[in-house]
Every structure is written in C-alpha cells, then in structure tokens.
Amino acid sequence: MKIEVWQGDITTLAVDAIVNAANESLLGGGGVDGAIHRAAGPQLLAECAALPEIRPGMRCPTGEVRATAGYNLPAKHVLHTVGPVWQDGLRDEPALLANCYWKSLQLAEKLGLTSIAFPAISCGVFGYPLHQAAHIAATETLTWQRSHREPQRIILVAYNAATFKVYQQALAALGQPV
C-alpha cells in the first residue's frame, strides 16, 4: 500500500472525501477553499454556516476538522480543516499542521470512508514552506497508513509539477518505494 501523489484539481476527484484548506470561519475564501465552494455549489456554504460557532466567527479552530456533504462535487464529503498561518515556525505551526492531517484521517475513519484526498494545506495563502509542509504531510499519512486499515486510499494532491516532485521526494525520504 502506498500514499498516492496526484497532480491536478482536487475538486474533480471522485473520492469519499476531499479535504478543504479552510479558515476558522468556514465561510469560504480563495485558493482551494474557493474552488471547492464554487464546484460544490451554495448548499455547501449553507451547511458550513449552520455549523456551531465556538466563538463569534469561529467554527473550526486551527488544527481541527469539520465534515460536510460534498453536494455538486464528485466527492461524497468535504472535511474542512484549518491549517496554521506560517509565522516563524516557532508558534506550534508543525504540530498544528500535523493535526490537520491526523484529525482528518481520524474523522474519515470514524465516518467509514475508504478514500481521502488532501491539498497542500497551508502552502498557499497561509505561507507554509513547501518542503517542510510536505515532510509533515508524508509523515502523518505514512504513519497512519502503516497502523490503520481505513481510509485505504490516501492521496496527496499537488496543484503543480513542483509540488508533485516535492511530495514524491518527501515520501521516498521516509521509505516509501517510488
């Protein structure tokens, strides 16, 4: 079994769940979040808006995850997680980013999902250095796969060729055959 790396638009994937790199409001934004909301349609925003607020404007703290349906997406579910904003690497960013991957996998398992696809959480607007983020994505997903049965298919989605290569290198460095 391997962690898959795939290059392209995550909104086109017919998997049990795609992960959204959201913000704490869960009310949409740019990047992959905007693409997911556009492709899913307005019902996705309505379900997000109906999720309970932990405090005004915050539905999901950084490092946590919330599930919704996928609506017009080919994916059945969207798992919305909030990556850390990169500051200097000393504000718990690595642990928070690791939580995004691990808690998404835990929720997918709890929901009985067999396939999940992740974008490069925090690597766009939130400014996380790609190599460091790829190492965390590879570590968390490989560790999960080595100790759990489901979700059986775990896909790291690279939006461009450079990210694709960095993901492959990160997985190889952790012992996954190329």
Using CB under 6 A, list all residues that contact ligand AR6: 9-11, 21-23, 29-33, 35, 83, 119-126, 157, 159, 163
Supply the minimum distance, in Å, between the C-beta of residue 152 and ligand AR6: 21
Q: Of the candidates 68, 101, 69, which has an alpha carbon nearest to the alpha carbon of residue 82?
A: 101
Residue placing its CB nearer to ligand AR6 in the complex, 107 or 150 = 107
Instruction: Rank residues 101 and 126 by Cβ distance to ligand AR6 and give the closer one.
Output: 126
Closest separation in Å from C-beta 13 to ligand AR6: 9
What is the rounded CA–CA span in Å between residue 60 and residue 54? 7
Burial 132-141 (b: 16+ CB within 10 A, else e): bbbbbbbbbb
DSSP secondary-structure letter at 162?
Answer: H
Minimum distance of ligand AR6 from residue 149's CB (angstroms): 27
Q: Are 24 and 58 in contact (CB under 8 A)?
A: yes
Distance CA 16, CA 69 (A): 10
Judged by CB, which is closer to ligand AR6: 65, or 150?
65
Beta carbon of residue 113, minimum distance to ligand AR6 (angstroms, whole number): 19
Site of tokens 């709890």:
110
Burial 7-21, CB ≥16 within 10 A → b, else e: eeebbebebbbbbbb
In the complex with ligand AR6, which residue's Cβ is closer, 12 or 43?
12
- 9 has catalytic annotation: no
User: What are the residue numbers of the active site?
Assistant: 33
